[in-house]
Amino acid sequence: EVQLVESGGGLVKPGSSLKLSCVASGFTFSSYGMHWIRQAPKKGLEWIALIYYDSSNKYYADSVKGRFTISRDNSKNTLYLEMNSLRSEDTAMYYCAKATMGYWGQGVMVTVSS
Amino acid sequence: DVVLTQTPPTLSATIGQSVSISCRSSQSLLHSNGNTYLHWLLQRPGQSPQLLIYSVSRLESGVPNRFSGSGSGTDFTLKISGVEAEDLGVYYCVQGTHARTFGGGTKLELK
């Protein structure tokens, strides 16, 4: 059974940093691209980052480019999202998703507030 | 950047009614490799999204065949042939031809 489990969220102040993790199981993690997608409270879905299976390519939404970094450790079956210079508008539920978005984690909440 | 416009934003239906949701792209979603990467997701209240249809018309494993997708280029449609109570929630189209973009969502509710 495919499972994606996010962690690392919480309440942080504007300007601070946070690193999210997504541990994958039930499939060959090293063979698939992975996404981070977020959803602000009562809003729609926003794609924010994609990493290829071998980390050879990374893509970002303009809203997070230069502040967020997606990475992965295939030896640990883990996807990461390092978030710097956080803003109030980054407050959202953050999801990791596999390849064509056939599998999603349960999400982790990030709240940026003073 | 590609913009996906979904209509209608809200859809009221009775159980058993057939409904359609439109997703229009600001650019063609036909990839240079010949594939069209337009997918449909459903997010039920309080849940993570789930994939229903991928590559325009391919039904994801385990998804009931009352769901169908069609379209090409810039215009795509999701059809539900006979709405059931479990179908209520917000439907999103998402494109994967030019990076990734989600549509704004269509909320399906009971009339």
**How would residue B111 be classed by pLDDT, with cut points 50, 70 and 90?**
confident
Summarize pLDDT for B74-86 with one digit per residue, the tens.
999 999 999 999 9
pLDDT tens per residue across span B4-51: 999 999 999 999 999 999 999 999 999 999 999 999 999 999 999 999
Interface test with B, best of A22, A45, A64 (most B CBs within 10 A): A45
Residue of A nearest to B96 (CA): A100
| Residue spans of chain A under pLDDT 50 | none
pLDDT tens digit sequence for A43-69: 999 999 999 999 999 999 999 999 999
Q: Of A45, A50, A95, which has the smallest distance from its Cβ to B92's Cβ?
A: A45
List residues in chain A touching B: CB distance below 8 A.
Answer: 35, 37, 44-47, 50, 59, 61-62, 95, 100-102, 104-107
SS (H, E, C) chain A: CCEEEEECCEEECCCCCEEEEEEEECCCHHHCCEEEEEECCCCCEEEEEEECCCCCCEEECCCCCCCEEEEEECCCCEEEEEECCCCHHHCEEEEEEECCCCEECCCEEEEECC
